[in-house]
């Protein structure tokens, strides 16, 4: 009777728990998918905001207004087109805009384009965004035509001698590469659709199929929200969220526990009736070793009692199974689900590696893993700083910032996984250029790298918290080693380890200086308050280094460098700065002012000062990287592609994953 009662009670408990778990799981998955959709939408909004700023700068160019003023009201459409086509195609003052936006148009009314440089834009519906730009000064919208998605940005331009302003229209395509840069996690997919048809998408194969309407697994949640006249859609792989929401105590576990308890009660009832002479004794023969139950101690540092497996063999946690590693892993070891391949570098607190993560059906993706050094495993301040860095970096979604996809604890070591980008930081590129006899960074390449870095800084400096208040982000470590130029010509800012922000758990101790002395603003070296202008000063020092191949501050010791950094450029430094190729003297004379109030007030203002000068294109930047370090990068890519972990794993015991991931992908 007791056993039957236990079975009945466990069945009821399992049903109640199943209902609760199902509700909790659905809420967790829906919330996670919605949050990822919001991040993607915010990234696209940031792109639109950046384009509006670029359009504002373009509309303020005096040569543009002068060109529009030369057009007479009675000029024929052919004459207007010839004048504008020549200006937009060949004038040097339009070169920076021409490189960034493939199509330019002008509207002299508020409903249609009167001129456009490319016929592909002829069929676009731009009346609303043109009218909004004419009325509000600037506007942007995502539009589509013929299966191509465009980001259209409009800017009102005052034309001398004319009562009505013109409207400048700048167009860029939003392709798969643009969406790839803002994927919430490597396993997700992002798409833009119109009338139920997916126009462009990027991401993992299975979620991409879900975007197209194919039945998706329960772990993949497809969510949508309007994107102007289009629809933004995200297929979020919520496998990790699903497992976490279900928890360890599952309905099946409750039912199994009830069954086991019932069996135990039944066996005990039989034992109570067994004759005394039949009780087992110490003289009973031992159970043969071949028939003994196997067991694994799931605790930390557990040992194995599996037949044929040495007790000292290490256990490897992976997924929801506890695995036994029968051979040593390839590369430099395994951290979480990442196989470390090469060590990229080592700082005071962390080590950085290239790594590969493997999945089913041959899936693999490359990452950069940053791991807190073992000696800091029990250092609360170091751990708090590392956690802060991971949380902050994961919230920064911008095409010029390397994103953090994963954060967790493997053994005693905290780690974060970042996007792997094939390229080299500016410090190593300049070093290679000087060593090869090619000299420092060419000026157009330098201006391109600086302008792209300023986009990242402008985004970070303007970041707001959930309450809408500015976070007051200051990178505080803008240096050549933290700006990467990729083999595709992209510029990426990274390493937000010592960023200043409101709400950080870890705080810099009073009197403690953090950062690179060779690229530090005076107020930072003096342990005074820093703001966005401190990062701009550091970028000025980076530009000087890239133009000369050496740091501005020279000293025999850290103390001497600190004194230099605390005062900024002096009478000995300025003549060399002013002798640099144009336009660097004019730019650095403002950027490197010791007094923050005399510098550029913002990253946008700094970028505006750089805009009129010829920049290298992303294609030229890619070619430059290829020519300097192409062979090195090819070897690196080959090692990552060919390296497959030779962990031969045998599933030995179903167990919950012990890794303490925090928002892992």
Helices 618-642 and 443-461, axial angle in degrees (round to 10): 80
CB atoms within 10 A of CB 314: 10
Q: What does the pLDDT read at residue 285?
A: 40
For 451, the enclosing helix (H) or strand (E) is: helix 443-461
Of 105, 643, 658, nearest to 356 by C-alpha is: 643
Lowest-pLDDT range of 97-101, 216-220, 439-443: 216-220
> Tokens for 287?
């159970």
Q: Is the pLDDT of residue 656 over 70?
A: no
Of 355, 358, 353, nearest to 372 by C-alpha is: 353
Q: What does the pLDDT read at residue 264?
A: 57
Q: What does the pLDDT read at residue 625?
A: 95
- Order of strands, edge to edge, in the sheet holding 230-237? 197-203, 189-194, 230-237, 220-227
What mean pLDDT is predicted for residues 200-226? 80
Rounded to an integer, what distance in angstroms lies between the CA atom of residue 586 and that of residue 583?
Answer: 6
Q: What does the pLDDT read at residue 501?
A: 40
CB atoms within 10 A of CB 84: 21
Q: Label residue 12 by pLDDT band (50, 70, 90).
A: low
Of 380, 379, 366, 369, nearest to 410 by C-alpha is: 369
Q: What does the pLDDT read at residue 305?
A: 33
Query: Cβ distance 478 to 539 under 8 Å?
Result: yes
Q: Label residue 118 by pLDDT band (50, 70, 90).
A: confident
> Tokens for 353?
């590696």
Of 35, 3, 37, 51, nearest to 455 by C-alpha is: 51
Evaluate the CA torsion angle 464, 468, 470, 473 in order and state its sign.
Answer: negative
Q: What does the pLDDT read at residue 618?
A: 94
Q: Give whichever of 12-21, 390-399, 406-415, 472-481 has the largest mean pLDDT.
A: 472-481
Q: What does the pLDDT read at residue 280?
A: 38
Q: What does the pLDDT read at residue 334?
A: 87
Lowest-pLDDT range of 116-130, 254-268, 325-339, 374-388: 254-268
CB atoms within 10 A of CB 464: 11
Higher pLDDT, 62 or 318: 62
Q: Chain centroid to CA 535: how far?
A: 20
Q: Label residue 642 by pLDDT band (50, 70, 90).
A: low
Percent of the chain scoring above 70 in pLDDT: 73
Q: Is the pLDDT of residue 246 over 50?
A: no
Higher pLDDT, 517 or 453: 453
Lowest-pLDDT range of 255-269, 450-464, 512-526: 255-269
Full set of structural domains in the chain with CATH: 1-264 (no CATH), 306-420+647-665 (3.30.200.20), 422-506+513-644 (1.10.510.10)
What mean pLDDT is predicted for residues 404-426? 86
Looking up tokens 């007479």 gives 72
Give the helix ranges, DSSP H, for 320-439.
Answer: 380-395, 426-435
Query: Cβ distance 117 to 105 under 8 Å?
Result: yes
Beta bridge partners of 262: none
Q: What does the pLDDT read at residue 480?
A: 95
- Active site positions, annotated: 477
- The pLDDT tens digits of the residues spanning 560-582 come to 888 889 899 988 899 899 999 99
What mean pLDDT is predicted for residues 546-552? 96
Of 462, 487, 485, nearest to 473 by C-alpha is: 462
Q: Is the pLDDT of residue 8 over 80?
A: no
Higher pLDDT, 496 or 529: 529
Query: Cβ distance 527 to 476 under 8 Å?
Result: no
Beta bridge partners of 133: none
For 66, the enclosing helix (H) or strand (E) is: helix 62-70
Rounded to an integer, what distance in angstroms lies between the CA atom of residue 231 and that of residue 233?
Answer: 6
Q: How far is the first Cα of the chain from the last one, in angstroms, to the nearest whole number?
A: 49
Q: Label residue 188 by pLDDT band (50, 70, 90).
A: confident
Query: Cβ distance 425 to 480 under 8 Å?
Result: yes
Provide the b/e sequence for 367-401 (b: ≥16 CB within 10 Å). bbbbbbbeebeeeeebbebbbbbbbbbbebbbbbb
Is 545 strand, coil or helix?
helix
> Tokens for 338?
């990442």
Rounded (to 5) percent helix, strand, coil in the chain: 45, 20, 35
Q: Is the pLDDT of residue 511 over 50?
A: no
Query: Cβ distance 388 to 506 under 8 Å?
Result: yes
Q: Is the pLDDT of residue 347 over 80?
A: no
Phi, psi of 133, deg, nearest 5: -65, -40
Provide the b/e sequence for 501-512 (b: ≥16 CB within 10 Å). beebebebeeee
Give me the half-sphere count of Cα atoms (radius 13 Å) on the Cβ side of residue 655.
Answer: 18
What mean pLDDT is predicted for residues 606-620? 95
Radius of gyration of the chain (CA): 31
Q: What does the pLDDT read at residue 142?
A: 93
- The pLDDT tens digits of the residues spanning 289-338 come to 333 333 323 333 333 333 333 333 332 322 222 232 323 334 578 888 88
Helices 251-271 and 2-59, axial angle in degrees (round to 10): 160
Q: What does the pLDDT read at residue 25?
A: 64
What mean pLDDT is predicted for residues 121-141? 87
Q: Is the pLDDT of residue 445 over 90?
A: yes
Lowest-pLDDT range of 266-275, 398-407, 436-445, 448-457: 266-275
Q: What does the pLDDT read at residue 299?
A: 34
What mean pLDDT is predicted for residues 355-359? 83
């Amino acid at each position: 009777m007791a056993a039957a009662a236990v079975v009945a009670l466990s069945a009821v408990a399992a049903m109640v728990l199943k209902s609760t778990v199902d509700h909790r799981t659905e809420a967790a998955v829906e919330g996670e998918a919605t949050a990822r959709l919001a991040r993607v939408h915010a990234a696209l909004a940031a792109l639109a905001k950046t384009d509006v700023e670029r359009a504002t700068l373009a509309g303020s160019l005096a040569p543009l207004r002068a060109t529009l003023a030369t057009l007479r009201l009675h000029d024929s459409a052919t004459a207007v087109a010839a004048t504008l086509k020549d200006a937009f195609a060949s004038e040097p003052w339009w070169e920076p805009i021409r490189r960034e936006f493939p199509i330019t148009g002008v509207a002299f009314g508020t409903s249609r384009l009167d001129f456009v440089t490319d016929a592909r834009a002829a069929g676009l519906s731009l009346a609303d965004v043109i009218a909004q730009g004419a009325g509000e000064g600037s506007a942007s919208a995502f539009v589509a035509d013929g299966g191509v998605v465009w980001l259209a940005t409009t800017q009102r331009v005052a034309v001398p001698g004319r009562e009505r302003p013109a409207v400048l229209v700048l167009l860029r395509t939003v392709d798969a590469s643009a969406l790839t840069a803002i994927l919430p996690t490597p396993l997700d997919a992002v798409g833009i659709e119109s009338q139920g048809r997916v126009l462009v998408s990027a991401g993992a194969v299975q979620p991409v199929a879900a975007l197209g309407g194919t039945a998706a697994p329960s772990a993949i949640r497809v969510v949508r929200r309007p994107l102007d006249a289009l629809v933004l859609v995200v297929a979020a792989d919520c496998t990790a969220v699903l497992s976490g929401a279900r928890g360890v105590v599952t309905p099946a576990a409750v039912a199994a526990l009830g069954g086991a308890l019932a069996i135990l009660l039944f066996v005990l009832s039989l034992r109570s009736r067994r004759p005394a002479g039949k009780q087992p004794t110490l003289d009973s023969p031992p159970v043969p070793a071949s028939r003994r139950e196997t067991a694994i101690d799931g605790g930390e540092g557990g040992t194995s009692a599996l037949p044929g497996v040495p007790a000292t063999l290490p256990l490897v946690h992976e997924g929801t199974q506890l695995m036994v590693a029968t051979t040593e892993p390839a590369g430099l070891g395994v951290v979480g689900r990442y196989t470390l391949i090469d060590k990229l570098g080592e700082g005071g607190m962390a080590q950085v590696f290239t790594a590969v993560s493997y999945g089913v059906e041959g899936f693999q993706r490359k990452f950069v893993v940053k791991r807190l050094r073992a000696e800091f495993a029990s250092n609360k301040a170091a751990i708090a700083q590392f956690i802060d860095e991971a949380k902050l970096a994961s919230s920064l979604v911008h095409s010029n910032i390397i994103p953090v996809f994963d954060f967790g604890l493997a053994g005693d070591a905290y780690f974060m996984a970042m996007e792997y980008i094939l390229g080299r930081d500016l410090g190593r590129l300049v070093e290679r250029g000087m060593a090869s006899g090619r000299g420092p960074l060419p000026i157009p390449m330098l201006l391109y790298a600086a302008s792209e870095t300023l986009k990242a800084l402008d985004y970070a400096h303007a970041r707001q918290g959930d309450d809408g208040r500015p976070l007051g982000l200051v990178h505080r470590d803008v240096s050549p080693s933290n700006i990467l130029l990729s083999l595709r010509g992209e510029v990426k800012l990274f390493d937000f380890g010592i960023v200043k922000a409101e709400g950080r758990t870890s705080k810099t101790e009073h009197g403690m200086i953090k950062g690179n002395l060779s690229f530090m603003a005076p107020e930072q070296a003096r342990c005074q308050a820093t703001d966005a202008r401190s990062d701009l000063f550091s970028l000025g020092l980076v530009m000087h280094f890239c133009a000369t191949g050496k740091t501005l501050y020279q000293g025999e010791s850290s103390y001497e460098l600190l004194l230099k950094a605390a005062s900024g450029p002096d009478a000995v430094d300025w003549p060399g700065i002013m002798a640099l190729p144009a336009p660097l003297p004019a730019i650095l004379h403002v950027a490197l002012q010791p007094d923050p109030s005399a510098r550029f007030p913002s990253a946008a203002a700094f970028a505006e000062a750089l805009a009129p000068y010829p920049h290298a294109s992303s294609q030229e930047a890619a070619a430059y990287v290829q020519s300097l370090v192409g062979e090195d990068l090819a070897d690196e890519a080959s090692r990552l592609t060919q390296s497959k972990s030779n962990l031969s794993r045998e599933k030995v015991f179903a167990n919950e994953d012990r890794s303490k991931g925090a928002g892992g992908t």
